[in-house]
Structure 1
Amino acid sequence: MIFKSVDVVHLLKAPALWIFLTGALLAYYVGAEVSPTWVMETVTLDVQADAQGRLFYVQRGLPQYLHKVKTETEAVLTTQSLKNFSVQGERPPLLKEVISHDQRVDGQTQTLYEQRLAKRHWGFWSLLPALVAVLLCFISKEPVTALLGGIVAGAFLLGRYDLTEDVLVPQLATTGAAGVLLLYLWLLGGLMGIWNRTGAAQAFAEFMTRHVVRGPRSAKLTAWMLGVIFFQGGTVSAVVVGTTVKPIADKENISHEELSYIVDSTSSPIASQLAFNAWPGYVQAFIFVAGVPFLLTEADRITFFFASVPFCFYAIFAVLSTFLLSIDKLPFTSRQMRAAMIRARTTGQLNAPNANPLSAKELQASNVPPGYTPHVIEFFLPLGLLIVVAVGTFIASGSPQVRWAFGLAFISAMLLAILRGMSLRNVMGGVTDGMKGVVLGSVILLLAITIGGISKEAGGAIYLVELLEGNLSYWLLPVILQLLTIIIAFSTGTSWGTYAVAFPLAMPLAWAVAQANGLDHPQLFMTICFAAVMDGSVYGDQCSPISDTTVLSATCTGCDLMDHVKTQIPHATIAAGLAAIGWTLVTLVFV
């Protein structure tokens, strides 16, 4: 027998398997048997004429020419016609048309153009892809399988049964997917691999030990400052800061619970504050809302991202609390964290007696070739180029050129290693090792992009808008979005995956609620809702025991994973509560 009967029984008892099968079957049934509800989305177009007199409007930075414009009497898509199609279970003959009509403005007749889009949803079932992904990750604690399960459910719901040709290839053959591969897999992975091969991070740690650290406070403050310096966030920050600062902190009897909390709370939170990194380029792809002028182009959406930075209250409080912990001035310290601090200072035990610390030997292992002497310049020069280019291009153009920044840092690290005597073979070996180290993260990001597109096509955002826009107090929406994204991110262990699921739902809902309530400052309200999704996702990711940054923060600092989670949650929760209060007050007073 190839398979033992006990293995089959064990497999059949696996809850994740039944959730996957149930979700797939439900999605297939709903997609095949349940007629979707068709609704109309109307967008007023800013139509211009080119040099040849052709009419066009700009969508996502590209001109879209009007080939056929209809009058109101010729319109196929109307509110009533779409209701009829929904009742009859039929698909509209077309999904998009442009209507023109004349309107008197300031005593003059102007021709206005509007685009009508036929959109569909399956009610509650439109949320099935995201729900399957969340449940699977909560049960299996494995994000790749969970995201694939959500993608399968969404594909079956949409009637796309060839997952490779109809789902994965179209979604991955996009500019966004290519950007993730270029930035996260090649440039970032390659840079980290070169630093590991040249010993640049270790040289930097030795430099800091000799010139900066003088005791426990300065050791913790160094960890906090490194988290700020590595504002790229996520796994990169956790790995580099954790492995760099651990030898320094261990010498000063800093408990591993303290250190892992500082490392974790200055990874993703600081990345949303000093966002001269990959975050704006990734997030902007999910926040386009038809008819919203300040989200029209990619540049508009990146500008909107930076405008939200002062309202990311959780990130601000999280970074501030770790700073106060670093200088021993934090007003509130949890019982578990206080006990860890006393234990480490008085006994020298960096972990709890019954702890099972995660090994960080692999991440700390040196791959420096024999005869090569690391130098701190190999760390400072590429990092300095990265920061200068990212910040400089933002100041010059209003949009940071993150790929340029990483590309120059990557190239400078390679050239510097070669000029200092490392063979090209060893340099490329470091590059390939670095790429291998971020393959899993790249796969998760690509799957997150895919499920985000699937969820949007399934109409989850449209359903939520219809359900909540007339029945929700506007001032409650930011906190509701925060709670929803906390649940999703905690269950899936990824903030970026949560963005892909949440933003296509949250941003149209926020705009609809603002319009329904006649808010005086809808853009400010959208900014607050955006910040709530950003911060809720970061909090859920940061506190989740299945998050890559949580695991890496514990691993790289030698901490027990659950000790890290339990000592971190009280402080992170206080920051999240203060953020919720802040959003509510700003909404009530200024919106």
Structure 2
Amino acid sequence: MEPSILSLLPALVTIILAIATRRILISLGVGIVLGALMYAEWDVLAALEFVREAASGLIVADGEIAEEVYILGAVVLIGVLSSLIYVSGGLLAFASWAVRRVRTRTQAQFVPVVTGIVIFFDDAFSSLVGGTVSRSITDQHRVSRAKLSYLVDSTAAPVIILVPISGWAAFIAATMTGILDENEVDGLHGYEAYLQSIPAMLYPITALLLVVAVAWFSIDIGPMRRHEQRAIEQNVLFDPAHGLPPGETDRNLPVREGGRVRDLVWPILTLIAVTVVGALWIGIAGAEGSLAPMDILAATDVILALFYGTIAACLVAAAMLLVRRTPGRVIGKAAVSGVRSMLFAAAVLFLAWITAEVIGELGIGEYLAGVIDEALPLALLPVILFVLASFIAFSIGSTFGTFGLLLPIAAEIALSLDSALLIPVFGAVLAGAIFGDHTSPLSDTTILSSIGSGVHLIDHVTTQLPYALVAAAASAVGYLVSGLTESTGLGLLAAVTALALAVLLLKGRSAVRGAESESAPQVGEVKG
């Protein structure tokens, strides 16, 4: 079918159903069926074949195992690792150690923030590992899993896109190089254009600043208030009405007495070390002799390295249990429990990818991109592109897809009207893609953040949305000022000022009462 306004229907139906019914698998299934039928012009057999091809492409791509398979493997293995660490007693030992050093809820909320900043090279790794590592600390300070997942998600992609030595930087710089060459822009290289665009990426900047404000001032707005209230008053960290969230350890597993901190630390360090070393090894091998950081980043495969890292971490955790003469049946039971805890999450992730494939084939991005009218006032161009990129990323659940689609269009429009707007519109598209990705339940990083943090996906989406909207509104103000003044610096100043005013309005009104008690809680089991 030709791209049209109807192309939006499957995405909207999926998202509305997911939020209204909270049945994410059914909602994704409905979206897939509707999108496939629309694409095949209501030919059922053709629609089935289309879905089969989309699903098989997520398993084998270009004759090789697809990246998505390694992501699913890493997700399941993270569940196994969590169960093994729990059985070893390392989780409780680490919590006892950490609670003596991280003494307040405020300090606990900064743990995932700092972790997200440190893990700056890959969003999937940051989302999974950041939540997994941090929740043993935040749980003890009665920080809700919804708050944890917001802190993890909002310090993953925003950090990575702003750091000029990440895999994202290499991809964006390469994309911009092609755009500049095609438009015969002299005196500006792709990486230089990316660096100049960083101050114009207003949403990632405001999102990170808001994360710090939320952690420092305990700003709880919208549905987050309910989650935080329940965590503080009842020590119930996720909504028990929906059962155990993906990745939550089975509390009926036996736990070894005398657990030690190293029972958690060594497997996690193994995970990080193998992933980092593996990514460097793959990148150096793929760079064909070049040792330039950008060449290595462009050639590496962090997802494959993460998959090997989770395998190594599970082996280390199991070996440590065997050394302490833990029965093999207990280790096996823990491993099976870990796999089982992640099956639902893996199914959601796989169906979300199929949904994104189906929606992408309907031409939703092309249709929305074609809505732009070059006769629009120049001053409105950055904010319009920000909104458009946000909606495309929200609909298809892909930042890279939005980058690839909209950056060339934005460049052509800016260069045909006023070349001074090139950098601001680049920044607007990149920022909008991050905002749309943050708010979409179809986004893999949104799903991975909820998995790593141990919270239901829809709870993560609905509690993060108000914060994302605050940062997006401040960014929109900045883009309006940037368009009016043709100054990236003034746009950034306007966005930060607008965010500061929003924080002042929210601070004091929104914090959950009872959070003022900052004494360290006793270590023990958390309730679900």
Cα 1:557/1:386, change in 2 over 3 Å: same
CA contact (8 A) 1:235 1:549 kept: yes
CA contact (8 A) 1:234 1:267 kept: yes
2:343 equivalent to 1:441: no
Query: Which residue number in structure 2 is paired with residue 451 of structure 1?
Result: 359
CA contact (8 A) 1:239 1:363 kept: no
- What is the SS of the residue equivalent to 2:111? helix
Amino acid at match of 2:78: M
Superposed, which structure 2 residues align to 1:256-405 within 5 Å? Answer: 258-259=147-148, 261-270=150-159, 272-273=161-162, 293=181, 311-328=200-217, 334=221, 348-349=233-234, 358-360=242-244, 363-365=248-250, 374-387=263-276, 389-390=278-279, 393=283, 394=293, 397-399=296-298, 400-405=300-305
1:5-51 Cα distance to aligned partner (Å, 9 max, x none): xxxxxxxxxxxxxxxxxxxxxx5xxxxxxxxxxxxxxxxxxxxxxxx
Distance in 2, Cα, partners of 1:232 & 1:357: 36
Query: Which residue number in structure 2 is paired with residue 472 of structure 1?
Result: 376
Query: Which residue number in structure 2 is paired with residue 589 of structure 1?
Result: 486
Tell me the C-alpha RMSD between the 2 structures. 5.2
- What is the SS of the residue equivalent to 1:363? coil
Distance in 2, Cα, partners of 1:559 & 1:162: 31
CA contact (8 A) 1:307 1:527 kept: no
Distance in 2, Cα, partners of 1:446 & 1:295: 34
Query: Which residue number in structure 1 is paired with residue 506 of structure 2?
Result: none
Distance in 2, Cα, partners of 1:435 & 1:410: 14
Out of 82, 85, 89, the position equivalent to 1:199 is 85
Query: Which residue number in structure 1 is paired with residue 35 of structure 2?
Result: 150
Cα 1:259/1:533, change in 2 over 3 Å: closer
Deviation for aligned residue 1:514: 1.9
Deviation for aligned residue 1:438: 1.9
Deviation for aligned residue 1:269: 3.9
Amino acid at match of 2:437: V
Out of 71, 77, 98, the position equivalent to 1:184 is 71
Amino acid at match of 2:296: S
Deviation for aligned residue 1:504: 5.8
2:97 equivalent to 1:210: yes
Deviation for aligned residue 1:411: 4.3
CA contact (8 A) 2:126 2:156 kept: yes
Out of 104, 113, 116, the position equivalent to 1:224 is 113
2:428 equivalent to 1:509: no
Deviation for aligned residue 1:221: 1.9
Cα 1:557/1:130, change in 2 over 3 Å: closer
Cα 1:312/1:207, change in 2 over 3 Å: farther
Distance in 2, Cα, partners of 1:324 & 1:309: 21
Deviation for aligned residue 1:537: 0.9
CA contact (8 A) 1:136 1:145 kept: yes
2:8 equivalent to 1:130: yes
Distance in 1, Cα, partners of 2:476 & 2:361: 29
2:474 equivalent to 1:578: yes
The structure with more strand, counted as a fraction of residues: 1
1:181-212 Cα distance to aligned partner (Å, 9 max, x none): 243123x2354144124217973674364143
Cα 1:256/1:441, change in 2 over 3 Å: closer
Query: Which residue number in structure 1 is paired with residue 53 of structure 2?
Result: 169
Out of 309, 327, 330, the position equivalent to 1:409 is 309
Out of 410, 414, 433, the position equivalent to 1:534 is 433
- What is the SS of the residue equivalent to 1:420? helix
CA contact (8 A) 1:155 1:163 kept: yes
Amino acid at match of 1:413: A
CA contact (8 A) 1:176 1:285 kept: no
Query: Which residue number in structure 2 is paired with residue 495 of structure 1?
Result: 397
Larger radius of gyration: 1
TM-score by length of 1: 0.58
Cα 1:286/1:534, change in 2 over 3 Å: farther
- Percent sequence identity is 20
Deviation for aligned residue 1:476: 2.4
Cα 1:313/1:206, change in 2 over 3 Å: farther
CA contact (8 A) 1:154 1:454 kept: yes
1:293-342 Cα distance to aligned partner (Å, 9 max, x none): 3899xxx99998787555432222222222233233x7x7759878987x
Out of 449, 455, 462, the position equivalent to 1:565 is 462
CA contact (8 A) 1:382 1:413 kept: yes
Distance in 2, Cα, partners of 1:578 & 1:160: 46
After alignment, is 570-579 or 244-253 more displaced? 244-253
Deviation for aligned residue 1:517: 0.7
Distance in 2, Cα, partners of 1:285 & 1:445: 25
Cα 1:414/1:234, change in 2 over 3 Å: same
CA contact (8 A) 2:207 2:471 kept: yes
Unaligned runs of 5+ in 1: 1-26, 28-121
Distance in 2, Cα, partners of 1:275 & 1:139: 38
Distance in 1, Cα, partners of 2:41 & 2:172: 27
Distance in 2, Cα, partners of 1:473 & 1:175: 44
Distance in 2, Cα, partners of 1:468 & 1:417: 54
CA contact (8 A) 2:275 2:305 kept: yes
Query: Which residue number in structure 2 is paired with residue 17 of structure 1?
Result: none
The structure with more helix, counted as a fraction of residues: 2
Cα 1:414/1:239, change in 2 over 3 Å: closer
Cα 1:526/1:327, change in 2 over 3 Å: closer
Amino acid at match of 1:145: V
Distance in 2, Cα, partners of 1:339 & 1:160: 44
Cα 1:339/1:578, change in 2 over 3 Å: same
CA contact (8 A) 2:403 2:433 kept: no
Distance in 1, Cα, partners of 2:486 & 2:294: 31
